[in-house]
A = this chain, B = another copy of it.
Amino acid sequence: MPTVPPLAEVEILSQGDEVLEGEVADTNAAEIARAVVDLGLPVGRHACVGDDPAAIAALLFEAAERATEVICTGGLGPTADDHTAAAVAEAFGLALCEHPRALEQVRARYARRGRDLDETGRRQARIPAGARVLENAAGTAPGFVLDRPPARLWCLPGVPSEMRAMLARHVLPALRARYPDLAPARLVRFRCLGLPESRAQLLLGDVARPGVRVGYRAVLPEVQVKLRFAPDLAPGAVERILAETGARLGASVFAVEDGEQVGAIEEVVGRLLLARGQTVAAAESCTAGRLCAALTRLPGSSGYFLEGAVVYANEAKERTCGVPRALIEAHGAVSEAVARALAEGVRARAGSTWGLATTGIAGPGGGTPEKPVGTVHVAVAGPVGTRHLALRLVGDREEVMARAVAAVLGLLREVILAPRPG
């Protein structure tokens, strides 16, 4: 095991023309940085170069001179613009060899897809001599890690789901093992719905102080408030600040993450339903499938999700959810009355514990002075009645839809936890 240098520092490298030329923002780098900082390790730099072997080699060499951990994504695939393995070999004067374990993994992956391994695919098994293969359970290209004491060089694929799985499985455990004395700051995250970021800042403006860092992050449809506490802060002080923060944010908080991740509102709701043996059905107008998609995100969702009706046309609202035409004519499709009727109708149709509904104007067209774009009604029908929320949501079409989905799921969470007549 290499000597642990006094100052451990991480550099994050990305390679690929699509990132360099701005086709995509470098979300991999951000995700890796968050994970590393959460461990308590400092990040020194990010850098990105294109699909150019010489540029990659130069960057790798420099980073290994500065940092003790270099985490690189991209360029491991089978195609002619994938150069990372060759660039690592070039940077450190190593041979590039077909690695038996890597070959076995690539071959097995191809076999599972019912394909023969051709010469192109086989390129993915070539890694620098001395590197250790990192299995990629989610894709074909294996990663690898190379020791260049005091630096260690991790090469992961650029496909975000593959990168994420390999970071969690290979990299983070190895970082914890190499730096056992890390004292990560305690991190508590308040996950909020229906609260703008600027309002959260206003509510919590005076919470930051020495030893307490407050961060705000809008992750549609949520705003997350992150409190990072220095390890030497007194536990009593931490608890007081947490209680104060929770009180100020109030009912907009749907989950508090303290160490473990609880997931998005649909996961919180899904687990509540499973634990109570309850079921749900959904009638969607303006969200047009996105509510059902959210309700089925959690594996095992067939344990609580029965059926959905995407009732875009008014005829569909009548036919499938039994909403009387007269009701639609009297109040308009975007109304409290229709939202309630949809929720009750789909609940009756499916025979579920809960019936959810959304109806609104997602835009960009369709707004009127009385019902502008962003006007949304959501409802939850249940055993003791129907609850309703009238919303005025901001954002573009998909943002309005995402906020409407989160709002009805947040309402469902409330009524599951405290059912009361609507």
Contacts and interface: CB of A to CB of B under 8 A. Distances in A.
Interface string A288-318: 1111111111011110011111111101100
Contacts of A342: none
A81 B227 CA distance: 13
Contact of A25 (B26, B47, B113, B282): B26
Interface stretch (A97-105, A248-256, A394-402): A394-402
A271 to B, nearest CB: 16
A300 B43 contact: no
B201 A78 contact: yes
Interface string A152-179: 0000000101000000000000000000
Interface string A23-40: 111110111111101000
A349 B350 CA distance: 17
B161 A113 contact: no
A238 interface: no
A267 interface: no
A182 interface: no
A77 to B, nearest CB: 6
A227 to B, nearest CB: 12
Interface string A1-38: 00000000000000001111111111101111111010
A371 interface: no
A202 interface: yes
Interface stretch (A215-223, A375-383, A409-417): A215-223
A418 interface: no
A253 B219 CA distance: 33
Interface stretch (A114-122, A127-135, A323-331): A114-122
B288 A312 contact: no
Contacts of A350: 313, 316
A217 B288 contact: no
A392 B113 CA distance: 8
Contact of A22 (B31, B208, B297): B31
A186 interface: no
Given A205-B120, A310-B310, A312-B308, A43 B20 contact: yes
B23 A113 contact: no
Contact of A293 (B50, B288, B364): B288
A320 interface: yes
A138 B159 CA distance: 36
Contacts of A24: 30, 217
A200 B118 CA distance: 13
Contacts of A44: 49, 55
A365 interface: yes
B306 A313 contact: yes
Interface in A352-380: 363-365
21 contacts: A19-B46, A22-B30, A22-B32, A26-B46, A47-B48, A78-B197, A78-B201, A79-B200, A80-B201, A80-B208, A118-B198, A120-B205, A288-B296, A289-B289, A289-B294, A299-B365, A302-B313, A307-B310, A307-B315, A313-B350, A316-B350
8 closest A-B pairs by beta carbon, nearest first, are A289-B292, A22-B33, A308-B310, A289-B289, A22-B34, A288-B296, A22-B30, A289-B293
